Amino acid sequence: MDNFRVGVGLWCVSFAADRFLPTGYRAKKTVKEQIELVSKIEGAESVDLHTSDFIGIRPKEILKIVHDNGLRVNAVNANIFGDPLFKYGAFTNTDKKIQRKAIDLSKESIDMAREMGASISSLWPGQDGFDYYFQNDYYYQWDSTVSAMKEVSDYAPDMKIGYEYKPKEPRMFSLISNAAKAVLLANEVDAENFGVTLDYGHALFAHENPSESLCLINRANKLLNIHFNDAYGNWDDDLIAGSVNIWSNLEFFWYLKKTEYNGFITLDMFPYREDPFHACRVAIEMIKKFEEIVDRLDDTAIKTLQKQNDAARILEILMKEVLR
Amino acid sequence: MDNFRVGVGLWCVSFAADRFLPTGYRAKKTVKEQIELVSKIEGAESVDLHTSDFIGIRPKEILKIVHDNGLRVNAVNANIFGDPLFKYGAFTNTDKKIQRKAIDLSKESIDMAREMGASISSLWPGQDGFDYYFQNDYYYQWDSTVSAMKEVSDYAPDMKIGYEYKPKEPRMFSLISNAAKAVLLANEVDAENFGVTLDYGHALFAHENPSESLCLINRANKLLNIHFNDAYGNWDDDLIAGSVNIWSNLEFFWYLKKTEYNGFITLDMFPYREDPFHACRVAIEMIKKFEEIVDRLDDTAIKTLQKQNDAARILEILMKEVLR
Amino acid sequence: MDNFRVGVGLWCVSFAADRFLPTGYRAKKTVKEQIELVSKIEGAESVDLHTSDFIGIRPKEILKIVHDNGLRVNAVNANIFGDPLFKYGAFTNTDKKIQRKAIDLSKESIDMAREMGASISSLWPGQDGFDYYFQNDYYYQWDSTVSAMKEVSDYAPDMKIGYEYKPKEPRMFSLISNAAKAVLLANEVDAENFGVTLDYGHALFAHENPSESLCLINRANKLLNIHFNDAYGNWDDDLIAGSVNIWSNLEFFWYLKKTEYNGFITLDMFPYREDPFHACRVAIEMIKKFEEIVDRLDDTAIKTLQKQNDAARILEILMKEVLR
Amino acid sequence: MDNFRVGVGLWCVSFAADRFLPTGYRAKKTVKEQIELVSKIEGAESVDLHTSDFIGIRPKEILKIVHDNGLRVNAVNANIFGDPLFKYGAFTNTDKKIQRKAIDLSKESIDMAREMGASISSLWPGQDGFDYYFQNDYYYQWDSTVSAMKEVSDYAPDMKIGYEYKPKEPRMFSLISNAAKAVLLANEVDAENFGVTLDYGHALFAHENPSESLCLINRANKLLNIHFNDAYGNWDDDLIAGSVNIWSNLEFFWYLKKTEYNGFITLDMFPYREDPFHACRVAIEMIKKFEEIVDRLDDTAIKTLQKQNDAARILEILMKEVLR
């Protein structure tokens, strides 16, 4: 079977900071330097950007750098989280003027995506959620998210909009915190071009089995985009792909290959301390390895044993086929 | 505002066992003894039963005991989890004959509920889920759950069927593991009488804010039944109501009173070590206290502060109004 | 390097029940049948028993069955959790008469262990802990645990006593809930023969890195016994060894082989739904595989990279050496 | 009983950033402005600083501002986490020159603390830990932490050094991740002036009952410092004190008042979105309320019921005494 094309979110190779070291774990790179760095990672075919990457540089210029480096743009995502304006929410903001800015920025991200030759804009409204009991009107939060997403979807029927769910961070509770909520939202928005961006580590953080979430989203025909990384399952760790889980990763690729999904698998990692080039390189090697292994697995045997619920025999097959 | 009527699941006052002490933490009681015990708990107006409570005793006899003790039956739930037959699943079982038994037993529970003068059958298919990677076909699990729930709903349009979600236990992963999945399921089943049983502790265990889950379910018009208890949020602890959380509980009642829900609040606790009578009595006192406090809260002030996202001022109001 | 000897806790192949199915997922087997079953599992060299296995059968008889089946006894553990008497605690019980029974039963387990030719008694006081805020005097719980463990250790200086820590279950909070607490306890008991039983899944459940816990315990010279299984890390899942984690398991064996530990690795699994024979067989194959792989890893390369903190390069080595 | 004195960590009212908004949720304030702001919070009597607060301002100048505003300094903490130099660890760094800098900075913090009239330096080595399997030599990490802490303790026998444990963040796993590890470390360092800084939210994040941790630390005579806030228990949320838990908080003060601890209770909150002044004011009101309530509780009744393990009756007392 054909393998998936792999890309890298520019933020993976950019500046990485946290609340204890807001000035960052390494020096800032320009967008040009970031793109050049990605181009050197074997197997990386695309980049994902944020609207905030376009500050101080014209889109055409970015596009030229991308093409000159043999890459393409997979997505341009709206940065609707990294501005204090949105601290109480983007689409859920009780201040309609701020909500409007979030919607407008989302539309801009779509315009930019189109201009970049990309087909997707991922929306991760990290500030949409709540921190304290009694702080929010949950009905309002859902209603305003639905109406905003309808407006954004209607704006560009030719472009895919992937809502990215995540349980928590930076708010204590995100509104669209798990796969099923994302599907519920997509069902209610009810637009062909609106669906879900599935981030493997977000699924783990939501205490989901990522494969089951993949099937849930795919069953609803809402799978638009994949972010990839690894995690211990109690935070959005954004670790190197394949560094924590093996069986879960393999199951994920096993199910993913059976979907119609033909988009990119985009690395969404935060190598705070690791060399980003090296971290991404190993992550992509890992993805290629997962694909190889999955291609080799005896599907008929596994499916037969699934009907018998025989976990022990399935594990035996995996052990023998996967572990050297 | 009128308060909610409160009931007690018979299992709260029955035998309590676990895997390390399967013979139980206390002596078994007959159904009659259990009902009599509930009748002595101040504030308890109803009982919930399982189909397995009807073994060796005729429904009419149970009904007489219930009425003689001044109670009514709120729900009869199908015990589709406590038989090794269902170990690999009830509605999701790959063996169609076993799935059939689960469906038939669900219908029986509805018949029994009707005979008991109850309006609800809660279905908690605890064995529907998965333990190991690659063990299951998640599409099959969803499809078979949907079709089974359609059949059960169609069987008795006059009766309410509440699907009870829970993240885990006894399987490592339950299929319908959170509120949004339960709503997704209900939307797909698309029957007026099919909805969700919300268990407060299950919501906590799913890392949900129970009030947000309540709103999510209610917004979809699928709230049919409430199970109540308390928990630390990392397991289905089934502790005495109000014993762990205060703000979360108050927020839950605050939002619950604003819904159309007019059913019972049913205690679903597992007092392994506590005297069940005493545990239930305190739980009901706690519920009454929550209702009193919520009635006293200044809704206008809170709603105004919610629009301003002012968590600190809301907390100040709560502190002054709630803590003595 | 020589491999570890592997054993099976008899409970792995026995009756398995839970609170929803206390009558069990399969028929009960006699101790004789359990031992015979273990003897057929390739690679299993020992069994672990509980004091409760000796009811209705003389120790000599059990020993004969063990030997006739080519096995040996590794440990006899005190069942100080499976009796309602201990519901509020074994060593921490506020009723001194009950605490006395727990101590006496622990001594009995040691006597039985000696009689069986075993060297270890593992103590897992599952009921020692607390459920509710304000319920317990934590000072009393620690003090009474320390004094009880001193008495038990003094009783049999020739026998090893391994305290098994676990975060939770059946109590909401276990007293000795993590590796460091177990070492603290062992340091305070300060007896050569008293130390820690490390259960791999309990470490995961305690949100520990099991290898780090192993090093912590070993650094204090308190590692006496190993229980093995696998888990998702949010409950004591007791799954088939190797079924969830690969890197974590390999790291664990990598560190374990560098310790002086020369005892058994004992399977402590709860195959509720799986055939116990098959589950244990695959688990032991998995252990053998882990040992093979660990023997092959280039320790010098890994240790050099550890000094450079180079996680990406270490992962690359693992990927190439481990994944086929 | 006398109440505790309350202080505010300057970082509570300073700049707050996170990885998605490293430029901060609000404008930076000077140290002078921060101190002035704290002085206006009713009930705040002290401030805690970090070594990094002394950049560009002489200690004497800070001290004058503190005194002019009617405050005192409780602690000066070493910032051994907010510099990329320490990204692979402070005391555990495999580069001995970097470890030396961490030790030297810790000594500086002590000198500064003394100069400020403070008695404590808290050490939170946030970068000491690990992210990936096989990445670190855990023995080395423990050994180097112990030796570094011995050196720092020896440097200033007249000053208290409180090691602050935390499970995770910014590393995936902190080395000293829970209360028992901190006590183990303190026992091994074995210096009168070296002990533990207990952060209430870190205890919750470590899945501890904070009161039990308090007793554990106090029983070992290692309680030197208290940081206070609130949290949901799955991250270091640093929320407003009293905003999540009531019973847990009350139990904590109940046990705290029974210790010899007579230091400050220092707010360690991160009000990213809230007005810091208001957040701290409510937090201190909450602390005062907890102290009032705890003073009113009938200790004899509670202790008697503790001996009977009667959680239900204890809860009834709490409900009646605490909830209005």
Whether A191 has its CB under 8 Å from any CB of chain B: the answer is no
Asked if A125 contacts A165 with a C-beta cutoff of 8 angstroms, the reply is no
Per-residue pLDDT at A1: 55
* Cross-chain residue pair B273–D309, CB shorter than 8 Å: yes
Other C-beta atoms within 10 Å of D198: how many? 29
Distance of alpha carbon D29 from alpha carbon C302, whole angstroms: 46
Which residue in chain C has the smallest CA separation from B131? Answer: C239
Q: Which of residues 232-271 of A touch C (CB under 8 A)?
A: 232-234, 240, 242-247, 271
pLDDT band at B171 (very low <50, low <70, confident <90, very high): very high
Cross-chain Cβ contact A138/B167 below 8 Å: no
Query: Is residue A15 very low, low, confident or very high in pLDDT (cuts 50, 70, 90)?
Result: confident
- Count of B-D CB contacts under 8 Å: 87
**pLDDT number for residue D161:** 98
Query: From the list C139, C207, C219, which residue is nearest D139 (CB)?
Result: C219
Give the mutation candidate from A86, A128, A133 for the B interface (greatest B CB count, under 10 A): A133
Higher pLDDT among residues D123 and A3, named by residue: D123
Per CB-CB distance under 8 Å, the chain D contacts of B273 are 309
Contact D216 C311 (CB under 8 A): no
Give the tens place of pLDDT for each residue, B51-97.
999 999 999 999 999 999 999 999 999 999 999 999 999 999 999 99
CB contact under 8 A, C178 and D180: yes
Q: Is B123 on the interface with C (CB under 8 A)?
A: no
Q: What is the pLDDT of residue D30?
A: 96
Does the distance separating the beta carbons of B306 and A211 come in below 8 Å? no
Q: B297 to chain D: nearest residue by CA? A: D324
Instruction: Find the CB nearest B180 among A181, A212, A302.
Output: A181
pLDDT for residue D2: 73
Q: Mean pLDDT in each 10-residue stretch from start to end of chain D (324 residues)? A: 90 95 96 98 98 95 98 98 98 98 98 97 98 98 98 98 98 98 98 98 98 98 98 98 98 97 97 98 98 98 98 98 97
Of D134, D173, D175, the CB nearest to C251: D134
Chains that contact C by 3+ CB pairs under 8 Å? A, B, D
- Average of per-residue pLDDT values in chain B: 97
Residues with Cβ within 8 Å of B18's Cβ and at least 6 positions away in sequence, in order, are B25, B272, C18, C19, C169, C170
Residue with tokens 């005192």: D72
**Among chain A residues, CA nearest to B251:** A134
Token pair 């005896």 is found at A298
The whole-number pLDDT of residue B1 equals: 55
**Is the Cβ pair B130, A209 closer than 8 Å?**
yes
Chains that touch A (3 or more CB pairs under 8 A): B, C, D
State how far the Cα of D320 lies from the Cα of B157, in Å rounded to an integer: 44
The answer, for A312 touching chain C at a CB cutoff of 8 Å, is yes
Picking from B132, B139, B212, the nearest residue to A215 by CB comes out as B139
Please report residues of A whose CB lies closer than 8 A to that of D26.
84
Cβ contact (<8 Å) for D247 and B247?
A: no
Q: What integer best gives the mean pLDDT of chain A?
A: 97
Q: Two tokens at B90? A: 């009830």
0.95 exceeded by pTM:
yes
SS3 of chain C: the string is CCCCEEEEEHHHHCCCCECCECCCCCCCCCHHHHHHHHHCCCCEEEEEEEHHHHCCCCHHHHHHHHHHCCCEEEEEECCCCCCHHHCCCCCCCCCHHHHHHHHHHHHHHHHHHHHCCCCEEEECCCCCEECCCCCCCHHHHHHHHHHHHHHHHHHCCCCEEEEECCCCCCCCEECCCCHHHHHHHHHHHCCCCEEEEEEHHHHHHCCCCHHHHHHHHHHCCCEEEEEECECCCCCCCCECCCCCCCHHHHHHHHHHHCCCCCCEEEECCCCCCCCHHHHHHHHHHHHHHHHHHHHHCCHHHHHHHHHCCCHHHHHHHHHHHHEC
Indicate the residue of C88, C187, C307 with minimum beta-carbon distance to D309: C88
B139-165 pLDDT, tens digit per residue, is 999 999 999 999 999 999 999 999 999
Q: CB–CB of D242 and B315 under 8 A?
A: yes
* Identity of the residue numbered A151: E
Whether residues A235 and D81 touch (CB distance < 8 A) is answered with no
pLDDT tens sequence across C134-182: 999 999 999 999 999 999 999 999 999 999 999 999 999 999 999 999 9
D289 touches chain B (CB under 8 A): yes
* Chain C residue with Cα closest to B89: C273
Is C278 within 8 Å of chain A by CB?
yes
Contacts of D322 in chain B (CB under 8 A): 323-324
Phi and psi at residue D196, in whole multiples of 5°? -120, 135
Q: Which of A11, A12, A14, A18 to mutate to test the interface with D (most CBs of D within 10 A)?
A: A18
CA distances from A68 to A35, A266, B141, D137 (A): 10, 20, 48, 44
Q: How many CB atoms lie within 10 A of CB B320?
A: 11
Q: Do residue D169 and residue A273 have CB atoms under 8 angstroms apart?
A: no
Q: What mean pLDDT do residues A39-65 have?
A: 97
Assess A318–B contact: CB distance below 8 Å, yes or no: yes
The answer to whether the CB atoms of C21 and B172 lie below 8 A apart is no
State which residue of chain A sits closest to C248, comparing Cα positions. Answer: A244
Chain C residues with CB under 8 Å of B87 CB are 25, 272-273
Pairing of strands B194-199, D5-9: unpaired
Mutation target to probe the A interface, by most A beta carbons within 10 A, among D11, D15, D20 is D20
Task: Provide the β-strand partners of residue A195.
Answer: A162
User: Nearest CA to CA, how far is B49 from chain C (Å)?
Assistant: 14
Q: Which two tokens stand for residue B56?
A: 């060796």
CB spacing of C20 vs B234 below 8 angstroms: no
Q: Between A and C, how many residue pairs show a Cβ–Cβ distance under 8 A?
A: 87
Task: Determine, for residues D323 and B319 on separate chains, whether the beta-carbon distance falls below 8 Å.
Answer: no
Q: What pLDDT is recorded for position B2?
A: 74
A168 and D234 within 8 Å at the Cβ level: the answer is yes
Report chain D residues whose CB lies below 8 A from the CB of A20.
81-82, 126, 170
Interface test with D, best of B13, B270, B290, B324 (most D CBs within 10 A): B324
CA B92/CA D236 separation, integer angstroms: 39
Judged by a CB distance cut-off of 8 A, whether residue C211 touches chain D is: yes
Size of interface B-C (CB pairs under 8 A): 88
Nearest to C242 among A232, A240, A319 (CB): A319
Q: Which residue of chain B is at minimal alpha-carbon distance from D277?
A: B312
Asked if residue D119 lies in contact with residue D167, where contact means CB atoms within 8 angstroms, the answer is no
Can you give the pLDDT at residue C283?
98
Write down the residue that tokens 């029994």 correspond to.
Answer: B112
Q: Which residue of C has its CA nearest to D210?
A: C133
ipTM: 0.97
HEC letters along A45-103: EEEEEEHHHHCCCCHHHHHHHHHHCCCEEEEEECCCCCCHHHCCCCCCCCCHHHHHHHH
